Structure 1
Amino acid sequence: MYLEQQFGSPHYWINLASALMANNSALGYAIAALRQCGGMVPLRQFPIICGAPLRQLRHLSPETILQRLSEAGLVETVTVPALGDCVALIQEKQFYSLHAAETRARLITEDILLTAVRDWLRKLGIASYNLVSTRADDPLPQVGTLAWDLSAPSYLGHMIRFSKEGEVKPGFVACDVNLTDEMTLAGVTPFIRKCTTLRALRNVGPCMQILVAERFDNEAFALLRKHGIIAATPSTLFGAEIADALRELTSVLVNAAYSLFDSESFEELFATLGKIEGAAYQLRGTLFEYMVADAAKRNGLGDIWMNRNFKVQGKGTAEVDVLGVRANHSVTAIECKGYSPRATIPDELFERWLQHNVPIAYKTIRDHPDWKNLPVTFEFWTTAPISDHALSLFNKAKSEIKATRYRIELRGPEEVYQACLHSGERTLIGAFEKHFMLPDGSIAPRSRTSRAVASVDEIEELVEL
C-alpha cells in the first residue's frame, strides 16, 4: 500500500523491489536492476540485466517479465534519442531525454571496459582467445540459459571436464559490467540470482563469474564474496591510470554531447586507453561522430542532434549519426565512418546505409510534421576510402534518385578535411590530422580498388571490427 503521490518516487521503487524480491519474484529483480542502471536501459540489454534465464522451465523469461511489468504500469518501452528503444521505469517524459546523453556516455565507456576485460582474459590465457564475445555481438553472449555482457569458454586445467567418451568439455567465464556510481545490495542481487541459476544447471561446466563496477557498498561486496563471485573495479583490474581514463571518458562524452567538444581531452584518452587492444578503433569512431557534429554546426547545418533512431513499421530501424535541421529550410542526415585511412570501408556497411538506412530515415522525415516539406540530403562522411564497387553503387543511385525526393552525397577523406578547415576550429583540424591522415601527412583517396589481398593495417582494422 502507498499514497498516490508516492508513486514513482525512489522510496516507492525501493520498497516495491524489496517486497517482490522477498517473495523471490522475478519482477522484483528486474526492477532492482533497472534502478541500479539509473532507471533506463536499451531494450536489447534488458535480458542481461534482469537476472532471468532466456528459456528455462519454471522461470519467467525476460520477455514475459517485461510484458507483466508493462501491463502493471510499472515500466514502459520508449524510443529515446541517441539510445533507440529502451526499457524504463515509469518516469516523467522529460526524464528520458534529459538522461539520454549521460546514459549513452556510460554505455560507450562500458563497451571500452568490456574490450579491456576481453584483452585481459586473452592475454592471461583464461579464455579461449578467439571465442570471447561481448554484448556488442549478435547474438548476445550466453552461458547456459543466461545472457551476459561478456562470455567465453575456458580451457584452464581446473575448469575443464571430460565426457564419458573422453572429450574435453570447457568451463566458462561470464562477466557483467556496470559503471553507475555505486553498486548497492539490491543492485547486485539480480546478478547473484543469475550466477546461482547457472550453477544449478547440470550440463554446464564450471564458470568463473565476474561483476565489474565503479565501486561497491560494503553489503553488496560482502554478499558477492559470500557467493564466490569476483567483485572487481577497473582500478583493481587495470590500475589507477586506466580507471581514471574511463571516468574521464564518460565526462568528455557527456560534455561533447552538449556541444563542448574537447579535442585535447580525446588526445589524452587515446594515449591511455589506446593501450587496450581494440579500444583505439572504438575511440576513433566515437571521436569522428563528435567531430562531424561540431563541423556540421560550425558549417551552418542548423540545429544538430546525434544518434537519432528512425523506425518504420515492418521495415526496421535506422540510426542517423548526425542530423542537422535548419528551420523551414532543409534537413541533412549524416552517416559517420571514422576508420583508419589505411583501411577500406566494408561494402556491406556502405550498402546498408544506401539501401536500408536512407529509405527508412527518408520515410520518417517525410512523416514529421515540421520536416515533411523540406529538402532532404543524406550524406556519407568517411575518413577511409570506399571500394570502387561501392563508388559505382553510389553513382548509380545518385543518377536514379529524383531530385524532388532527396539527394545523396559522398564526403570522402578530402572533403571531410576541407569541412574541418572551413570550420576554422583548430581542435577539429588538429584531431583530423592526427587520427585520420596517413603517416606521411597525405589524405587517403576517395575510393580504393577492391583486391583479394588486404594490407596488414586493413586486416587489423577489420579484426578490431
Structure 2
Amino acid sequence: MTRSSSPFDNDLVRLLRSSGPCLTIALIAEMVKAGLSPAAARQRIARAGDSVTRLAGLRFAHNARFFFLSEQFGRPSFWKAIEKACKSHGPSYWGAIIGLKARGGAFPLRLFPGLCGAPLARKGQLSPERIIERLQAIHMVEQITDEASGERFVVFQPPQYRTAKISHIRAQLAAEDVVLHGMKEWCRRLGLASFERIRLRNDEEPPVVSSITWDFSGPSYARPLAQPLKGTLRPGFIVADVNLGKILDSNEVAHFVRKHDLASGPRNVAPIMPFLVADGFTATGFSLARQKGVLATTTAQMFGEEVAKALRDLINLLSNAGATAAVNPEHLERVMGSLTKIEGAAHNLRGHLFELAVGALVKDVEGGFLRAGDELKEFRTGRAAEIDVLLDRPDDKGVLVIECKSKSPTSRIGLPEIQKWREDRVPLLRSILRSRSSFADKKLTFELWTNAPIAGAELEWLENHRSEEGCEIGWRDGEAMKAYLEKSTSKSLIKIMNEHYFRHALVRVIPSQQ
C-alpha cells in the first residue's frame, strides 16, 4: 500500500539527511532533543508518508523499524547503519554479518549454521535458514555457485564489502581442517573428550551441541565438566571454532561468546568448555575472551611455531596455485613434512597438495611454462573448469594438461571418476583451450595421473576411449608415475612422492621377525 506525503515528512527527511539511516529509536531520541515528547515523536513516525522508506525484510527487537531515504539505499553509510542497527537490536543478523566478514566475505552454505551461530531449532530464535533468507531480502548477501567445485557459497552482495577469492576460502578451510584434526588428536591424548564421539565440521554428522553448530565438538567426562546423574556420570562438552583468516578482534570474540551463551542458556544443559583458535587476537579481543571465560588460543600455542608457519604457508600455496605452481620443491617438502605429522590430517592434506607436487615434477623433468589450479571459462556456454596442471612444453612438444587424482595407494580410482574426466572435462577443456589464441594451434595432450593403480574394468574402458579429435589421451597410474619420477633430479620431489604418495605410513609393511 502506497503512503501519501505527510506534513511531518519534512522533519523526518531533515533528520535522516543529517543523521543518516537509523532505527526508529534513534529518530525518537533526536526528536525528543528537539523538544517533542516521546509519545508525540512516535506518533509522527507512525504517520510518516512516502517521502521516507521503511526497510522491509528485517525485523528488529522491540518492534523497531529501520528508516532511510530512497537515495541513501546501497551507499556505504547505509550498510554501516544496518550493521549498527543489527548489533543493537538484531543480534542474530549481526552474528551472521560479523561471522561472514571474519571469513573474508564468502563461506560455504553448508557451514553457514556454524558461522552465524544461530540455533538450528529453538522457539523464539531465528534459524540459520531464516537469517539467510532475510539478509538476502535486503540484498546484503547472496548465494553463488563455485563452478570449480560445484559448491554453494554465501557471499556479501554490496560492492564495498571486500570478498576474498573462493580459492583463498578453500585454502583457508583446508588449513583449518588440519588444525581440527590436530585438536582431535590432542583431546585423545589428554583424555579430554571421548575420541570416537568427537565430531568435526566436515563429518557426516555435524558437531552440534545444544542446537548450536561448531567446528569441533566432543563429550567430556573430565572434571568439572562431567556431573553425577542417577549413579552415572553425565558428560559435559568441549566445543571449538577455528578461524585462520585474520587476527580476531573484540567483535569476533563477542560473536563467539554469544554462541556459547546461546548454547548454555537452556535449562539442564551440561557444562560446555569453549575454545576459540586463531592465528592471533588483538589486545581487546584477547582481553574480552579472558573476561568471558573463553579459552582463546593460537595455532602456535597449540602446535608450536613450526606448524603455525606451515599452516600459513599452506594457505599461501593453495590460495593461488597458478602463481605458486613453480614452488620451490624444498619449500613444499617442509610444509608437507610439518603438517603430515598431525594424525588424521595427512590424507586430506596430500590430496590438496598433489597437483602442486605433480606440477613441480613435470616441470622439473620436461621444462616449459607451468600453471596449476587455473579456472577457465568457455565463452560459448559459460561453463567453467579448473585445470589441475598445465605445462606448455618447449621444443614444440605441445601442451600437457593433467588431471590429478590423489588416492591412498591401497585404493583405486573408480570408473565414474575416469568417465567424468574423459567424457566431460576433456572435451570442455579442449574447447576452452582451442578458443585461446595462445593454444589454438598447439598440440594438446590430456592425461589422468593418479598414485593408485588403474586396472581391470577401468583400464579396459580407458583403452577403448583413447581417441579424441584434435588431441591425444593418456594416463599414468602409480607404477607409471614411479617410472616417471626416476627422470627427476630433485631430491625433494623424489622424497615427497615416495614418502607421501607411494609408500606413506598408511601402507608401509613391517617385516615379520624371523
Cα pair 2:208 2:214 within 8 Å, conserved:
yes
1:264 corresponds to: 330
1:17 corresponds to: 83
- After superposition, the C-alpha distances for 1:122-161 in whole angstroms (9 at most, x for unaligned) are 1111011222221232232222212111111112132223
Query: Cα–Cα, structure 1 residues 103 and 76, in superposed 2: closer, same or farther, change >3 Å?
Result: same
The partner residue of 1:393 within 454, 457, 481 is 457
Aligned residue identity for 2:221? Y
Give me the whole-angstrom Cα distance separating, in 1, the residues matched to 2:187 and 2:376: 34
Give me the whole-angstrom Cα distance separating, in 1, the residues matched to 2:466 and 2:307: 51
Give me the whole-angstrom Cα distance separating, in 2, the residues matched to 1:94 and 1:171: 39
Deviation for aligned residue 1:176: 0.4
Q: How does 1:9-408 map to 2 (within 5 A)?
A: 9=76, 13-80=79-146, 84-90=151-157, 92=159, 99-164=165-230, 166-254=231-319, 256-258=321-323, 259-294=325-360, 304=371, 306=373, 322=388, 324=390, 332=401, 334-337=403-406, 339=408, 343-345=409-411, 347=412, 350-354=414-418, 361=425, 379-383=447-451, 385-386=452-453, 391-398=455-462, 401=465, 403=467
Give me the whole-angstrom Cα distance separating, in 1, the residues matched to 2:362 and 2:161: 26
Cα pair 1:17 1:29 within 8 Å, conserved:
no
SS in 2 for 1:436: helix
SS in 2 for 1:458: coil
Give me the whole-angstrom Cα distance separating, in 1, the residues matched to 2:486 and 2:426: 30
- After superposition, the C-alpha distances for 1:171-203 in whole angstroms (9 at most, x for unaligned) are 111100111231122222332221111101335
Cα pair 1:36 1:180 within 8 Å, conserved:
yes
Give me the whole-angstrom Cα distance separating, in 2, the residues matched to 1:136 and 1:307: 25
Deviation for aligned residue 1:23: 0.5
Bigger drift between 183-192 and 317-326 goes to 317-326
The reply on whether 1:413 has 2:462 as its aligned counterpart is no
Aligned residue identity for 1:225? R
Deviation for aligned residue 1:209: 0.8
Query: Cα–Cα, structure 1 residues 369 and 65, in superposed 2: closer, same or farther, change >3 Å?
Result: farther
Cα pair 2:321 2:373 within 8 Å, conserved:
no
Query: Cα–Cα, structure 1 residues 69 and 393, in superposed 2: closer, same or farther, change >3 Å?
Result: farther
Query: Cα–Cα, structure 1 residues 267 and 56, in superposed 2: closer, same or farther, change >3 Å?
Result: same
2:496 corresponds to: 435
Cα pair 1:82 1:306 within 8 Å, conserved:
no
Query: Cα–Cα, structure 1 residues 275 and 23, in superposed 2: closer, same or farther, change >3 Å?
Result: same
Give me the whole-angstrom Cα distance separating, in 2, the residues matched to 1:364 and 1:24: 46
1:463 corresponds to: none
Deviation for aligned residue 1:360: 6.3
Aligned residue identity for 1:152? G
Query: Cα–Cα, structure 1 residues 30 and 398, in superposed 2: closer, same or farther, change >3 Å?
Result: same
Give me the whole-angstrom Cα distance separating, in 2, the residues matched to 1:267 and 1:234: 20
Bigger drift between 244-253 and 298-307 goes to 298-307
Cα pair 1:82 1:104 within 8 Å, conserved:
no
1:457 corresponds to: 506
- After superposition, the C-alpha distances for 1:423-442 in whole angstroms (9 at most, x for unaligned) are x6x4xx53442133379xx9
Query: Cα–Cα, structure 1 residues 188 and 409, in superposed 2: closer, same or farther, change >3 Å?
Result: farther
Aligned residue identity for 2:115? I
- After superposition, the C-alpha distances for 1:401-458 in whole angstroms (9 at most, x for unaligned) are 5946999754212333455566x6x4xx53442133379xx977xxxxxxxxxx9833
Structure with larger Rg: 2
Cα pair 2:447 2:474 within 8 Å, conserved:
yes
Considering Cα pairs closer than 8 Å and 6+ residues apart, tell me whether 1 or 2 has the greater RCO: 1
Cα pair 1:141 1:147 within 8 Å, conserved:
yes
Cα pair 1:235 1:243 within 8 Å, conserved:
yes
Q: CA RMSD in A?
A: 4.2
Deviation for aligned residue 1:337: 0.5
Deviation for aligned residue 1:85: 2.6
Deviation for aligned residue 1:33: 0.8
Bigger drift between 43-52 and 392-401 goes to 392-401
Cα pair 2:118 2:125 within 8 Å, conserved:
yes
Cα pair 2:321 2:372 within 8 Å, conserved:
no
Query: Cα–Cα, structure 1 residues 82 and 402, in superposed 2: closer, same or farther, change >3 Å?
Result: closer
Give me the whole-angstrom Cα distance separating, in 2, the residues matched to 1:331 and 1:87: 35
SS in 2 for 1:437: helix
Bigger drift between 396-405 and 141-150 goes to 396-405
TM-score relative to the length of structure 2? 0.69
Aligned residue identity for 1:278? G
Query: Cα–Cα, structure 1 residues 410 and 332, in superposed 2: closer, same or farther, change >3 Å?
Result: same
Bigger drift between 269-278 and 55-64 goes to 269-278
